[in-house]
Chain A
């Protein structure tokens, strides 16, 4: 009897854990009806693989809205070559396994012709490898690690590589502000942050500057008191602080440094430009510099039209550059689909993606070539104004 009870308790406990898996936020299925093949249906299915919840949500959520917005507009205008586009979306939940599984699902179950999404390289690697093996093109909306290109011929980047972003930050410090001694704080748990830090240091040293002190931490550890005390005790003459962090952490770090009386200039890479920065750090964020994809203050009509459209349809101004990147990723895929004519298959879409030349987008101009699927775009330095909004400083490159 006791054994039965024991077993029952175990089973109940396990059942409880398992039911939890079903408790997560409902996935936005788009449309439930399953068409046997995209090439013959009236609609063309495109996959959206964004981290709508979790640590990446502050980037991926605006990206997804931008992505969806572009195809909504396309459909309103009559679709592509007379066919409507159906966006099938799953939430990656900021989990590499979920991203990979849902990518498989988009390919095997929904039979999409192309997939887009993901602002961070860790998740992009997980999902991109799945797409590569299945022979379906994946256009990363915001991921920037240059080695993503090595996944294979099926993956494309919408954004510039980290090198360009980091170079712009280094150039701005050395050339515009004449700052040569820099302190770096690096999140050691992410590909994105370690690559960004490496590229920044490379360029800074090439420009005659020097990283005088590097300190490290791991993502999800919110306690920076040890690092701050180390900095306060001896910052080796550093005149600026370069944060190589994911967006979640930037506000926390800035607030903690400023609260301890550190007034030195702080700069970070793309992704730091989320509303979370000002929300968490408040006034401490004022003057914070970000090297990113675009500024919505840019006079360029492509930028201003996007800002107007997004504001009208989403009820809010674009949260950050990632909204524009999502929109641009959709633009890239739509262009390739249009070039396919009537024969829209994943293989044709891929070939036409590679043929894209000088496509003018909100975040810059994109050209791809065989072997290089990372666009050469300019980076923009922006700063946090007194009211928490991001102000344009300078376009570099």
Chain B
């Protein structure tokens, strides 16, 4: 095994991990505030991708406009789901909202299958995105580079929002203690809507990165990556922004190195390996890599 081979698989892992990271951030900020695992998150990603496909194939809009519209639609979808399926259950216990989110996920998957048929559809981005560049001997496609840049930008932007802005301060307050934040005059609904909006918009971007890489999309495409991104959020320490990013990269790299370096007879089982990693990390650090122990919130 040569070093360049190892590096190429590492790059694959970082690329996949970046996508997981972006999705995991959405899981994490929603969980941080609501203690809700939003299983419909992966399906919002699928909605975003289908919106892109429709806009590109039927109207022929330029890509930048397609991305903006799709992010906006996904944000609305996310906020709408929060309003219809989660907010009415706000006073119920956490399990009820969890089940509600599972139901929303199934609903969205079936809805997409009814509207677009369960068939896989080709998803073509301009050739420009698949062109490969040689950077210090590492082969990277334009899409890869954009993915890495996007993750960096998103992390920096979110750090700024969370640390420096009023809504970010309100988010931190809500995730510390929702009731106390409310007593301090913060409107939790505003904060929650903001969290869902950010998470859903990011999910649509992640969908673009996945679909651009795989060239096909189908109505169930968001589910497994969503599940792995959830693992990533847990591995990193759910509720923590940097934890979600770190978890995403760890899961992505672990998956790809397993697929690339292990004997080919076992590489087909890489999904199972991801969950083994999850269990191992939780055995050593029950709150995830960057999670804080908090003993549950009442």
Which residues of A does B touch, CB under 8 Å?
A: 5-6, 9-10, 13-14, 16-17, 20, 23-25, 53-55, 57-58, 94, 188-189, 213-218, 220-223, 225-227, 229-230, 232-234, 248, 251-252, 255-256, 259-261, 276, 279-282
Closest chain-A Cβ to B70's Cβ sits at a distance in Å of 20
- Knowing A255-B215, A259-B130, the reply to whether A226 touches B124 (Cβ < 8 A) is no
Sorted nearest first, the 6 A-B pairs with minimum C-beta distance are: A226-B259, A216-B268, A222-B214, A9-B96, A233-B5, A188-B268
Contacts between the two chains (Cβ within 8 Å), count: 122
Name the residue among B111, B215, B221 with the largest chain A CB count within 10 angstroms. B215
- Knowing A221-B271, A252-B215, the reply to whether A13 touches B103 (Cβ < 8 A) is yes
Q: Which residue of A lies closest to B92 (CB)?
A: A9
Question: Are B260 and A23 in contact, with the CB atoms below 8 A?
Answer: no
- Knowing A9-B89, A217-B268, A276-B120, the reply to whether A252 touches B213 (Cβ < 8 A) is no
- Cα separation A318 to B215 with both chains bound (whole Å): 26
Contacting residues, chain A, for B175 (C-beta < 8 A): none
Question: Are A13 and B100 in contact, with the CB atoms below 8 A?
Answer: yes
- Knowing A6-B93, A223-B214, the reply to whether A229 touches B99 (Cβ < 8 A) is no
Complex interface bits, B47-90 against A, C-beta within 8 A gives 1, otherwise 0 = 00000000000000000000000000000000000000000010
Q: Which residue of A lies closest to B117 (CB)?
A: A53
Which residues of B does A touch, CB under 8 Å?
A: 2, 4-5, 8-9, 12, 15-16, 89, 91-93, 96, 99-100, 102-103, 106-107, 110-111, 113-114, 117-120, 122, 124, 130, 132, 213-216, 220-221, 224, 256, 259-260, 264-265, 267-271
- Cα separation A188 to B268 with both chains bound (whole Å): 7
One of A6, A53, A188 near B92 (C-beta < 8 A): A6
In the complex, besides A24-B110, A252-B214, 11 extra interface pairs with C-beta distance below 8 angstroms are: A5-B91, A9-B100, A17-B102, A17-B103, A23-B110, A214-B264, A222-B221, A226-B270, A233-B2, A252-B120, A281-B215
Q: Which residue of B lies closest to A228 (CB)?
A: B12
Question: Are A256 and B215 in contact, with the CB atoms below 8 A?
Answer: yes
- Cα separation A220 to B117 with both chains bound (whole Å): 16
Q: Which residue of B lies closest to A232 (CB)?
A: B8
Question: Are B267 and A216 in contact, with the CB atoms below 8 A?
Answer: yes
Contacting residues, chain B, for A25 (C-beta < 8 A): 114
Question: Are B130 and A17 in contact, with the CB atoms below 8 A?
Answer: no
Question: Are A6 and B96 in contact, with the CB atoms below 8 A?
Answer: yes
Contacting residues, chain B, for A282 (C-beta < 8 A): 122, 124
- Cα separation A234 to B1 with both chains bound (whole Å): 9
Q: Which residue of B lies closest to A61 (CB)?
A: B119
Q: Which residue of B lies closest to A278 (CB)?
A: B122
Question: Are A55 and B92 in contact, with the CB atoms below 8 A?
Answer: no
A-B contact pairs, 29 of them (CB 8 A): A5-B91, A10-B99, A13-B100, A13-B103, A16-B103, A17-B106, A24-B113, A24-B114, A216-B264, A217-B267, A218-B268, A222-B221, A223-B213, A225-B16, A225-B213, A225-B256, A226-B259, A227-B259, A227-B267, A229-B8, A229-B12, A230-B5, A233-B4, A234-B5, A251-B215, A251-B216, A252-B215, A259-B130, A276-B120
Question: Are B110 and A20 in contact, with the CB atoms below 8 A?
Answer: yes
Question: Are A280 and B215 in contact, with the CB atoms below 8 A?
Answer: yes
Closest chain-B Cβ to A234's Cβ sits at a distance in Å of 8
Closest chain-B Cβ to A40's Cβ sits at a distance in Å of 40
Question: Are A57 and B268 in contact, with the CB atoms below 8 A?
Answer: no
Contacting residues, chain A, for B264 (C-beta < 8 A): 213-216, 230
One of A10, A24, A230, A234 near B260 (C-beta < 8 A): A230
Closest chain-B Cβ to A58's Cβ sits at a distance in Å of 7
Q: Which residue of B lies closest to A252 (CB)?
A: B216
Closest chain-A Cβ to B128's Cβ sits at a distance in Å of 12
Closest chain-A Cβ to B121's Cβ sits at a distance in Å of 8
Question: Are B92 and A5 in contact, with the CB atoms below 8 A?
Answer: yes
Contacting residues, chain A, for B93 (C-beta < 8 A): 6
- Knowing A225-B12, A226-B12, A282-B124, the reply to whether A57 touches B5 (Cβ < 8 A) is no
One of B100, B102, B267 near A226 (C-beta < 8 A): B267
Contacting residues, chain B, for A14 (C-beta < 8 A): 99
Contacting residues, chain B, for A220 (C-beta < 8 A): 220, 224
One of B9, B110, B221 near A229 (C-beta < 8 A): B9
Contacting residues, chain A, for B2 (C-beta < 8 A): 233
Contacting residues, chain A, for B259 (C-beta < 8 A): 226-227
Q: Which residue of A lies closest to B96 (CB)?
A: A9
Contacting residues, chain B, for A218 (C-beta < 8 A): 268-269, 271
- Cα separation A67 to B12 with both chains bound (whole Å): 45
Question: Are A20 and B107 in contact, with the CB atoms below 8 A?
Answer: yes
Closest chain-A Cβ to B122's Cβ sits at a distance in Å of 4
- Cα separation A94 to B2 with both chains bound (whole Å): 42
Contacting residues, chain A, for B89 (C-beta < 8 A): 9
